[in-house]
Amino acid sequence: MTEFAPTRSRSNITRRTPGNERGPAISGLKSGNFTSFVETATMLSSASVYLERASPIMKRPRVLLADDHKIVVEGLTTLLSPHCDLVGAVQDGRALVEAVKRLKPDIAVVDISMPLLNGIDAALQIKKARVPTRIIFLTMHPDVTYVTRALEAGASGFVLKHSASSELLAAIREAVKGRLYVTPMIAKEVLQRIMQKPATVNGPSALTSRQREVLQLTAEGRSAKEIASLLKISPRTVEFHKLKLMEKLNLHTQAQLIHYAIKHGVIG
């Protein structure tokens, strides 16, 4: 993990910069408490897209970055360092969980597709650990399925990477206030999806957290012995979990398993 040296704010007054102008957000929501599509739909249905100025005096949030692409981390560092205290950067989901527990940042900016443990399952583990860090997903995937899964994992924000320069700071401000931010480009579609139907019974949410871990690591091409070492279980237990998840998802071959993992965003 890369840790950044603490930075000191030059002033308590927020300057008017590209990240500090008005930005759209879905307001009126307390994030991190989504337990079902029904609850999410109920909350989102009363939300509205609004414009809000940054407060003149704001505490600099402590932010952790999680992305396996060095160039993305460098870009985010340049974008966020004038406004946030960056506490570190990690390259996989397992390192993210450990770093959040240890550093307890205010915000974690997280990619969905990361090795060893994807961002959504990492967020679920962070939520289970009751760490108050708020998760903002920054991803290249505009698919609404990713957004709904992210919300169920307790996400406080969902921003597309090509919109990061204009939206990420706004998403961080909303998350600090306990509000939910979804990029306006897909917010309406997200609401429609949630209102229309619940999660499918054969989606990743139908699996246990351990089964999802085995699914991702298997789809990444790791052997039962490697998976056992990472998860601290026996190879026989790995094979048992693999068998059960394939039965539950009605998959019969390794190729089908990999295709399923890619289709449902378990791996990139």
Domain 23-196 has CATH 3.40.30.10: no
How would residue 48 be classed by pLDDT, with cut points 50, 70 and 90? very low
Residue whose C-alpha is closest to residue 137's, from 117, 120, 124, 125:
120
* pTM for this model (two decimals): 0.70
Domains 23-196 and 204-263 share a fold: no
Q: How far apart are CA 137 and CA 134, in angstroms?
A: 10
Residues ≥6 apart with Cβ < 8 Å to 196: none
- In terms of Cβ atoms closer than 10 Å to its own Cβ (0-12, 13-18, 19+), residue 120 is buried
Element (H, E) at 261: helix 254-263
In this prediction, residue 90 carries a pLDDT of 97
In 10 A of CB 119, how many CB atoms?
27
CA separation for the pair 131, 126 (Å, rounded): 6
Are 129 and 108 in contact by the 8 Å Cβ rule? The answer is no
Question: In 3-state terms, what secondary structure has residue 108?
Answer: strand
Distance of CA 15 to the CA centre of its chain: 28
Q: Identify the residue with better confidence: 23 or 171.
A: 171
3-class state of residue 142 by DSSP: coil
| pLDDT class of 178 with cuts at 50, 70, 90 | very high
Integer angstrom CA distances of residue 230 from 145, 183, 217, 234: 28, 35, 9, 10
Domain layout of the chain by residue ranges: 23-196, 204-263
Residue 131 CA to residue 125 CA, distance in Å, equals 9
Check residues 1 and 8 and name the one with the higher pLDDT.
Answer: 1
The H-or-E segment that residue 248 falls in is: helix 235-249
State which fold the 204-263 domain adopts: Arc Repressor Mutant, subunit A (1.10.10)
CA atoms of 95 and 65, how far apart (whole Å): 11
Structure tokens at 201: 């019974």
How many whole angstroms separate alpha carbon 129 and alpha carbon 223? 28
Task: Report pLDDT digits (tens) over 135-144.
Answer: 999 988 888 8
